[in-house]
Structure 1
Amino acid sequence: MSITPLIEREPVLDIQNLRIEFRGKSETVVAIPDLSFKVMPGESYGLVGESGCGKSTTAMAIMGYLGATGVVAGGSIRFNGKQLVDASAKDLRSIRGRQIAMVYQDPMSALNPVKTIGAQLAEVPLLHMGASKREAMAMAEAILADVRLPDPGDMMRRYPHQLSGGQQQRVVIAMALLAKPSLLLLDEPTTGLDVTVEAAVIDLIAELRQRYSTSLLFISHNLGLIAESCDRLGIMYSGEMVEEGTTGEVFRRPKHPYTRGLIDCIPDITGDKRSRTLAAIPGSIPLPQERPRGCLFGPRCSSFVPDLCDRPGLVLEPAAEDHLVRCVRWPEVPAATTSEAHVEPHAIKKLTAISLSDVNRLYPVGYRQTVKANEAVTFDAATAEIVALVGESGCGKSTLARIVTGLDKATSGEIRMAGENIAELQASERPRALLQQIQMIFQNPDSTLNPSHSAAFSIRRSIKKFGIRKGKAEIEQRVRELLEMVRLSPAVADRKPNQLSGGQKQRIAIARAFAAEPSLIVADEPVSALDVSVQAAVVTLLLDIQREKHATMLFISHDLALVRHVADKVVVMYLGKIMEQGTVEEVFGKGAHPYTEALLSAIRSPHPDEAPRERIRLSGETPSAVNVPAGCRFATRCHRKLGSICDTAPPPLRKMSDTHEILCHIDQAELAARPSVLASAAKA
């Protein structure tokens, strides 16, 4: 069967010279000055860039959702040859949902909390396909089976709040695919999902794309995910395309300095903080009203040449076949080089900074029922060591962090620090010296910043509370020192949080944590909400400060590639219990717990030439923390299950080495002989 060459086929989506403005009473903001790209039939096209570059605005313009102030001021958006700009509301309604569908970053923004899943799904065939109610419900149940949700009939009767985040996102995908659209827009569809759930959702989207011959416009700042999911991609910066081409070509031979910078920000699973430093891109995306002349990336580019790069009228030009770049110097700009780190191990005596022994946290619920949030958690962290806690949502990581910091207390067990057992002491019961020694960096920096006070208010408050400095002049001097430590200008001190970027707010949160001069930092997903470039800057900064201050750190994350880069030791948790712990080399090397294998196999790589890895799909959902399985709690999802013993008997603790422990029924020799799922990546 002959296939029409891609170049001769009509695009599903054709955007040419698109200009989007947001018009207020006093000023007009140009969000997208000039944007052009195409999505071909059956193609998956990735749109990549930092927050504020215009990716989501482009998707909203396609859907006609720019709101009262948003205007398409120029250019065209054609869908299957039909002009969408200035199309009537009736025409847009006939296209939206039926021919073009969208999956949002937050599934709850597309789900009605007071309607059952079945009722919401049935609306699509009722409205767009002229189906009867019985037909619509049958189609809804069938699509739930297609997205591999358990017991579709029961799922139809549930409300959104009764579903996990991964289940909610699958329902939204089912809703989008129900009418078999020609084009599916995916706006950060896996942000906030666990790595295993993300892998399952992405595999599902790829499978359904093939089944329904749907074209995808995939918006994400996760380069690894784009590298594995898309045929072509476009790199956006400040509202314009700076590079475009086939995915393999762009990732193998990036031409634009911005693309090279983004790729260099990504942690590598084959290296760590001692072998490589994440090279952050300096500066930030300019505000729409502050765009420079010529190359918009110019102020952040190390290869910028005055009177050349600042000339107006830069265009996308061919750099190779199917590869375009908007840079006048691309042939002469040297290729990005990996920033090597030569970090010597801490030259201090390794003492135990904090030790946890059989820590349990139980929450009574209902009649004689108990949620086992943490069970027999035992590990320790040495001075100046970074211990990473990893696992899916609900595994007990954050509960443990709250107990360590005194925001909650353990039901039983010991947490020894500075000679005291703090397991059952909440913050209000701890002596001031102990409060000072333990500080926390939250996932959301707004948790530590009062919107009505200046950015430096929380830093000053911490300095005063713990008596780090006396007198106004000394306190202000210390604030300046801390801002300098986190690479912020002193001018930031007087700004309100809403005047700061996400990266700036997280730096303020880091400065606040270190203001108390603590010996232990608990970092709970400190960079998960940040762009890859900001993430690299914050992680590098955090590592520099931690190394300089010799602070111990508990680093909570679901980003395994980042954990590989940051951690000295890894603790893998599942349903409140530790499944595996060891040095980062041991946990990421051969002989891992089956659950650890599944987590590692879900890591997405941005390197197109990397040898394909075994992808381990976990079936089913995590069991309830109220009805914990009698045997191994991972047995219901384990791909290496031995048999009934896994369901009935608690697994033994296997001592793989002095530092490496695995909780599993599989024989120790068999565990040790198993090669790492990352082995193929390391060899490539």
Structure 2
Amino acid sequence: MNGPPPAAFPAFDVGKRDRADALTIVGLTVAYRMRGRERDVLQDVTLRVKRGEAYGLVGESGCGKSTAALAVLRYLPRNGRVKAGRISIGGQDVASLDADALRRMRANAVSMVYQDPGRALNPSLTIARQVSEAFEASGATAADALARTVEMLRRVRIASPERVMESYPHQLSGGMQQRVVIAMALACNPELLILDEPTTGLDATVEAEVLDLIAQLRAELGTAVLFISHNLAVIGRMCDRVGVLYAGKLVEEGATRDVFARPRHPYTVGLLRCLPSAGRSKDAGRLDTIPGSLPLPGTVTQGCIYADRCKLADERCLRDAPPPYRVAASNGDQMARCHYHERAIDLPRATPDAVSESAAPNRTSVALRARNVSKTFRVGNEQVRAVHDVSLDLAEGETLGLVGESGSGKTTLAKLLLGLLSPDEGATLELDGAALPARVTRRNDAQVKSLQIVFQNPDSALNRAHSVRRLIARSLAKLASLRGAEKEARLQSLAESVRLPERYLGSRTRQLSGGLKQRVAIARAFAGDPRVVVCDEPTSALDVSVQAAILNLLADLQRERGVSYVFISHDLNIVRYLSDRIAVLYLGRIMEIGRAADVFGGPQHPYTEALLSSVPTLGDGAQEKRIRLSGELPSAANPPSGCVFHTRCPRKLGAICEQQAPPDADAGDGHRIRCHIPVEELRALQWAPGPAQLDGTQT
């Protein structure tokens, strides 16, 4: 927090934490100074997190969630300041603490876990040094800190802590890095743990493990949690209460079950409607989105800040800002800043299924064919086979979803198809029936334009110094047939097709939101009329409304242009929505492939079953059939014998799984499962009533 401190600074009293809420925020207003004027990014926010409670904070990107967390820690950037309000941690006013007291508070009372664990870890220091430093900051000696580091790494479910302590961050998987960061955050046994999108980049099984870990540690240590996320299902699973932020204002708050079951603000309803429900596909119709966009900070000075996007808004909403209406709900009080909160309850909370207006595309012709594709890397003295003998066909106008844990070979396979990596000897690639050179440098211009990619992070693929117009125009410049006015018309058409308003064509990408940047990346990928587009986690960093808009856009472009997608994502509900077929990879091998409805509906490979059971969903009993996989993903340099999944399989039969590679069984209609368990037995196992949870042992 900025501004002059009080004349006398109290010392931070750790013992006082037992006598107050973990976090209290009253009337918080935070402003950033931008272009010579101050703009309020948080306005009169009041909330509290009780001791041992988990409180979720949700809303679109730019609504102020991370700003609230930074204000709590007094980590606001130089152009930010607290204009009004009070923040207390354990009953002590954060603004009143001097530098030493603030350091003691951060060392002993509050910790934060960020979205990207890689950025929170020093790449030049071992894990032992970094975790032990966290204990030393709390007053432990160097020897005691190392001993406690081993204990804490075991507590966060790291099986070989001594080995991990000797490692550097880049030698660990994303899930392992996140566990290390959580261990560092818990070193001081904090009263308050702030989690800012801690699972966004993790696959389904690792995400489930991290969430289980947080829940268990919270129960053991009595730690309060402020959980920031755009994943409503994760919030629904993890949090007792939830607050919904919109344009810097807390528009709804209450028990999570009450808010998600009977939301009283139209914005909350809109967020819930954006989610692709379990089992929903693009053939059932478009996903709902929230029309319009967030207002710029400080631009709404009268009336309800959500009025321009609200279906219930009238003259009263434009004239009078709604007060916080409080009503009794099933699990406590529920607050909503809406004049018509009683009517908001009756708004539909799910997008109705609809029959697709366009006929299903003809998928008889194969756009891309891959046969016997393998890729071996040499790492030191080891041979690491990242992709092992993969064969697949991608039909025209079809979406093939690639799923599996991090390290399963999804991105490596995509790079092999794009020609960014060369496959091992014996592989063949074909595009529209013609041989496709393995390396992109040996492909002609038409072949290069035919295969494009949309990355997870558009910032890494777009030059921040160039305008949107120039970025798209450079891709169009490769089309020799386009000149002058025709080229400009094509650029305008591309921008319109990806729903990119013309006013943004002159902007630099650094001036755009994440959703707009992704639209620019998609426009550039489609500039050359591609036959195949690889989408590598294109929506994982986007909030639910922007995510729904991008998924609708990809589905629309596919229907209009007949393009084929290879779609990679950790979010299996998104994969189910967009994909016609799904391939499940494990250690570079396809364990299951088939139509999306068949893969999700069963029978399923035990690995697929575990992946699907790990996906958090809204609603009671969402995790009743959670299957925990034992151990870590084996090394591709030394894969297990027999079935490579047998070391973690909850349905392992015995010696046959350890000694023999499983057959590729036909489950009908092109659905194939690589497993020793017969297809009918798999179907019976997955539909028979049984224990609520499998823990990696035979059932």
Residue in structure 1 matched with residue 132 of structure 2 by the alignment: 122
Residue in structure 1 matched with residue 441 of structure 2 by the alignment: 428
Separation of aligned partners in 1, 2:648 and 2:419: 33
Deviation beyond 4 Å, 4+ runs, structure 1 = 676-681
Give 1:248-397 correspondences, 5 Å limit: 248-291=257-300, 293-306=302-315, 308-321=316-329, 322-333=333-344, 334-336=346-348, 337-343=350-356, 344-348=358-362, 350-367=364-381, 369-397=382-410
Taking every aligned residue pair, what percent have the same amino acid on both sides? Answer: 46
Separation of aligned partners in 1, 2:196 and 2:428: 44
Separation of aligned partners in 1, 2:106 and 2:309: 39
Give 1:531-550 correspondences, 5 Å limit: 531-550=543-562
Separation of aligned partners in 2, 1:571 and 1:206: 32
Q: Does 1:74 align with 2:67?
A: no
Separation of aligned partners in 2, 1:33 and 1:355: 55
Q: TM-score, normalised by structure 2?
A: 0.91
* Aligned equivalent of 2:595, options 563, 583, 592: 583
Q: Could you tell which deviates more after superposition, 671-680 or 151-160?
A: 671-680
SS at match of 1:97: helix
Structure 2 letter corresponding to 1:332: R
Give the CA deviation at 1:276: 4.2
Residue in structure 1 matched with residue 578 of structure 2 by the alignment: 566
Give the CA deviation at 1:349: 5.9
CA contact (8 A) 2:495 2:523 kept: yes
Give the CA deviation at 1:455: 0.8
Relative to 1, partners in 2 of residues 1:292 and 1:643: Cα closer, same or farther, differing over 3 Å? farther
* Aligned equivalent of 1:201, options 194, 206, 210: 210
Residue in structure 1 matched with residue 695 of structure 2 by the alignment: none
Separation of aligned partners in 2, 1:360 and 1:477: 43
Kindly provide the CA deviation profile for residues 378-421 of structure 1, in whole angstroms up to 9, marking residues without a partner as x.
11122211111111122111122122222222223112222222
Relative to 1, partners in 2 of residues 1:83 and 1:195: Cα closer, same or farther, differing over 3 Å? same
Give the CA deviation at 1:313: 4.0
Relative to 1, partners in 2 of residues 1:678 and 1:482: Cα closer, same or farther, differing over 3 Å? farther
Structure 2 letter corresponding to 1:350: T
Give the CA deviation at 1:659: 0.7
Separation of aligned partners in 2, 1:122 and 1:418: 57
* Aligned equivalent of 2:122, options 112, 119, 136: 112
SS at match of 1:465: coil
Give the CA deviation at 1:123: 2.6
Relative to 1, partners in 2 of residues 1:650 and 1:455: Cα closer, same or farther, differing over 3 Å? same
Give 1:501-516 correspondences, 5 Å limit: 501-516=513-528
Kindly provide the CA deviation profile for residues 499-523 of structure 1, in whole angstroms up to 9, marking residues without a partner as x.
2211111112212222212222221
Relative to 1, partners in 2 of residues 1:356 and 1:55: Cα closer, same or farther, differing over 3 Å? same
CA contact (8 A) 1:614 1:677 kept: no
Q: TM-score, normalised by structure 1?
A: 0.93
Residues paired across the two proteins, number? 668
Give the CA deviation at 1:605: 0.7
Kindly provide the CA deviation profile for residues 455-475 of structure 1, in whole angstroms up to 9, marking residues without a partner as x.
1223223333134x5321011
SS at match of 1:515: coil
Relative to 1, partners in 2 of residues 1:140 and 1:612: Cα closer, same or farther, differing over 3 Å? closer
Q: Does 1:29 align with 2:39?
A: yes
* Aligned equivalent of 1:183, options 192, 200, 216: 192
Q: Does 1:480 align with 2:492?
A: yes
Separation of aligned partners in 2, 1:67 and 1:512: 34
Residue in structure 2 matched with residue 221 of structure 1 by the alignment: 230
Unaligned 5+ runs, structure 2: 1-18, 693-699
Residue in structure 1 matched with residue 256 of structure 2 by the alignment: 247
SS at match of 1:137: helix
Q: Does 1:163 align with 2:172?
A: yes
Separation of aligned partners in 2, 1:530 and 1:648: 44
Kindly provide the CA deviation profile for residues 541-581 of structure 1, in whole angstroms up to 9, marking residues without a partner as x.
11011011122211111110101111110000111110100
CA contact (8 A) 1:277 1:339 kept: no
Give the CA deviation at 1:316: 1.3
CA contact (8 A) 1:580 1:593 kept: yes
Q: Does 1:629 align with 2:623?
A: no
SS at match of 1:635: coil
Relative to 1, partners in 2 of residues 1:598 and 1:347: Cα closer, same or farther, differing over 3 Å? closer
CA contact (8 A) 2:616 2:623 kept: no
CA contact (8 A) 1:318 1:325 kept: yes
Separation of aligned partners in 1, 2:568 and 2:689: 21
CA contact (8 A) 2:240 2:255 kept: yes
Q: Could you tell which deviates more after superposition, 571-580 or 280-289?
A: 280-289
Q: Does 1:237 align with 2:246?
A: yes
Residue in structure 2 matched with residue 646 of structure 1 by the alignment: 657
Structure 1 letter corresponding to 2:530: P
Residue in structure 2 matched with residue 4 of structure 1 by the alignment: none
Q: Could you tell which deviates more after superposition, 647-656 or 471-480?
A: 647-656
* Aligned equivalent of 1:103, options 109, 113, 117: 113
Give the CA deviation at 1:611: 5.4
SS at match of 1:218: strand
Relative to 1, partners in 2 of residues 1:349 and 1:242: Cα closer, same or farther, differing over 3 Å? closer
Residue in structure 2 matched with residue 20 of structure 1 by the alignment: 30
Relative to 1, partners in 2 of residues 1:470 and 1:122: Cα closer, same or farther, differing over 3 Å? closer
Separation of aligned partners in 2, 1:131 and 1:230: 32
Residue in structure 2 matched with residue 134 of structure 1 by the alignment: 143
Q: Could you tell which deviates more after superposition, 488-497 or 552-561?
A: 488-497
Kindly provide the CA deviation profile for residues 311-363 of structure 1, in whole angstroms up to 9, marking residues without a partner as x.
34432111433110001122234412524331154253622222221111222
Q: Could you tell which deviates more after superposition, 32-41 or 628-637?
A: 628-637
Separation of aligned partners in 2, 1:518 and 1:660: 28
* Aligned equivalent of 2:162, options 143, 150, 153: 153
Q: Does 1:524 align with 2:533?
A: no
CA contact (8 A) 1:14 1:78 kept: yes
Structure 1 letter corresponding to 2:585: M
Give the CA deviation at 1:10: 4.3
Kindly provide the CA deviation profile for residues 421-449 of structure 1, in whole angstroms up to 9, marking residues without a partner as x.
22x43222112222232222222223442
Residue in structure 2 matched with residue 6 of structure 1 by the alignment: none
CA contact (8 A) 1:233 1:245 kept: yes
Separation of aligned partners in 2, 1:446 and 1:611: 35
Give the CA deviation at 1:222: 0.6
Q: Could you tell which deviates more after superposition, 67-76 or 138-147?
A: 67-76
RMSD of Structure 2 on Structure 1 (CA): 2.2
CA contact (8 A) 1:273 1:341 kept: no
SS at match of 1:278: coil
SS at match of 2:343: coil
Give the CA deviation at 1:25: 8.4
Relative to 1, partners in 2 of residues 1:48 and 1:425: Cα closer, same or farther, differing over 3 Å? same
Separation of aligned partners in 2, 1:495 and 1:345: 38
Structure 2 letter corresponding to 1:429: R
